[in-house]
Amino acid sequence: MGKQYAFYPGCTLHTTGVEFGVSTELVCQALGLEMVEIPDWNCCGASSAHSMDHTLFLALPARNLAKAQQVGLDDLAIPCAACYSRLAAADVALREDGAFRAQMEDVLGFGYEGRVRPRSLLDVFANDLTKQVLRAEVVNPLKGLKAVSYYGCLLIRPPKYTGRWDDPEHPQSMDAMVELMGGEAVPWSYGVDCCGGSLTLNRSDVVVHLVDKLVEGAREAGAEAMVTACPMCMANVDGRQKYRGGSPIPRKPKPQYETMPIFYFTELMALAYGLPFQKVLGKHLVDPRPLLGRLGLA
């Protein structure tokens, strides 16, 4: 058995981002990584807690760190970018803010050791595994798949939380992953732009506008698909291309508006590794199967 990681799946991997969850599980198995799910984890508070209460916003992920400590592994792998950002922020707060740490230790009944390092799953793949290992499993190279990597706001920023495992403004690790899987990583400059996050419900006009910019940027760059590591980005880019309603300002449908499929990076890995995965592809709102079919990949 390969290296062990504590694992925090977060809510979305079991619900809206089930394709992320399934593909992550399959890929980790294929790569021989053992993901030990932390016991009794709770919501990280990402999308809404911060607008309610700052302490709660940090306390929710802090509890997860407390639980992760019990696993006994130093590296805590987190697939979802938002969950990762919250746990990393809580870890920084616990480490640097004595008062907060004392309060959390009291409330949660644990002693902060500072040993557990929250890490993005992409970071784990890109920096713990060699290119040879990642490439070795490829049986179905994603030849012809032109994809832009969409990192979003939270995956590698702010560096204060994330610690610069990739360039915070011009990251490359997901592009490298696409290339390793046999695809073509298309350079573009919108990789760390915002998708609108949880505004998708109360200000869908804003999110539709931002998603349009992303998709236009990707198309201008010559891409046919996008890749992400964030369920929130997925929900917005996938959902708001198709369901553009709810806007207080009625938007004219664009002539010849073409949708662009978006994948989790683990999905592309699962595809390239030839893992039994096809059935969840149907969960996407922008169906990627025509594109994959055209390229002979699915």
Partner 1 sequence: MAANDDHKAVLIVGAGIAGMAAGMHLAELGYPVYLVDSAPAIGGSMHLLDHTFPTNSCGICLMLPQQPAFCPTLECERHDKIRLLPYAELTHVTGGPGAFRALVRHKARYVDPERCNGCGECGAVCPEARPHDYEGWVSPVKAIYRPTGLRAVPDTWVIDMEYCTRCGKCVEACPTAAIDLDMQPREETLGAGAVLLTPGFAPFDARIKGEYGYRVYDNVLSALEFERMVSLAGSSVARLARPSDGHPRFAGYRHPRGGAPTAKPPKRVAFVHCVGSRDNLCGAGHCSSACCMYTAKQVALAKKLDPELDVTVFYMDLRAFGKDSEAYIEGVQALPGVTYRRAMPSSVHQRQQTREVVVTVAGEDGKLREEVFDLLVLAVGFAPPVGMQALARDMHVELNAYGFAVSDGYHPARTSQPGVFVAGAFREPKDIPETVAEAAGAAAEVAGFLGAASRQDPLQSGTRNTQHALRDVRDEEPRVGVFVCECNGELARVGVSDVIAWTKGLPGVALAQAVPVGCSADGRAAIQAAIEQEKLNRVVVAGCSQRLYGKEFEGVMREAGLDPRLLARVNLREQVVYPHSKNGSDLTSKARSLVGMAVAGLKTMSGLDALPLGTCQALTRRAVVTGGGAAGMSAALQLASLGIPVDLVERGAELGGQWRHIYYQAASHTWQGAAPVHPQGALAELVDRVRKDDRIRLHLGAELKELLGTPGNYRSVIAEDGREETVEHGVLVVATGGKPAIPTEYLYGQHPRVVTQRKLEQRLAASGQRTTRLRSEGDRQAASDGVDPIENVQTVVMIQCVGSREPGRPYCSRVCCTQAVKNALKLKELKPALNVYVLYREVRTYGFREAIYQAARDAGVVFLRYELPGSPASLTRASLGTGGAGKPQVTAQGDRLRVSLTEPVTGQTVELNADLLVLSAGIEAEGVADLAERLRVKLNADGFFQEEHPKMKPLDLGRGLFVAGLAHSPRFLEETIAQAQGAAMRAAAFLAPEAVVDRPTAVWVNDRLCSFCGLCVQACPFQGRVMNYDRRVAEVDYSLCQGCGVCAVVCPNKATKQKAFEHKQLMAAVDMGLV
Site residues for partner 1 per CB under 8 A: 167-170, 186-190, 193, 217, 220-222
Report the greatest alpha carbon distance in the chain.
Answer: 59
Single-letter amino acid, residue 68:
A
Within 122-257, strands assigned E span 146-150, 184-185, 225-228
> How near is the Cβ of 221 to partner 1 at its closest, in Å?
4
**3-class DSSP state of 19:** helix
In the complex with partner 1, the residue whose CB is nearer, 7 or 188, is 188
In the complex with partner 1, the residue whose CB is nearer, 186 or 297, is 186
- The CA-based angle 153-240-207, given to 5 degrees, is 50
> How near is the Cβ of 213 to partner 1 at its closest, in Å?
9
Structure tokens at 230: 């964030």
In the complex with partner 1, the residue whose CB is nearer, 100 or 190, is 190
> How near is the Cβ of 167 to partner 1 at its closest, in Å?
7
> How near is the Cβ of 198 to partner 1 at its closest, in Å?
20
In the complex with partner 1, the residue whose CB is nearer, 5 or 188, is 188
Cβ–Cβ under 8 Å, residues 70 and 39: yes
Q: How far is CA 17 from CA 105, 164, 186, 234, 238, in A?
A: 32, 26, 25, 8, 11
> How near is the Cβ of 290 to partner 1 at its closest, in Å?
24
What is d(CA 21, CA 230) in angstroms, rounded to the nearest whole number? 12
**3-class DSSP state of 50:** helix
Cβ–Cβ under 8 Å, residues 277 and 22: yes
> How near is the Cβ of 193 to partner 1 at its closest, in Å?
7
> How near is the Cβ of 187 to partner 1 at its closest, in Å?
5
- Helix 81-96 crosses helix 54-71 at what angle (to 10 degrees)? 90
In the complex with partner 1, the residue whose CB is nearer, 50 or 209, is 209
Quick count: other Cβ atoms within 10 Å of Cβ 234?
29
In the complex with partner 1, the residue whose CB is nearer, 188 or 277, is 188
In the complex with partner 1, the residue whose CB is nearer, 153 or 262, is 153
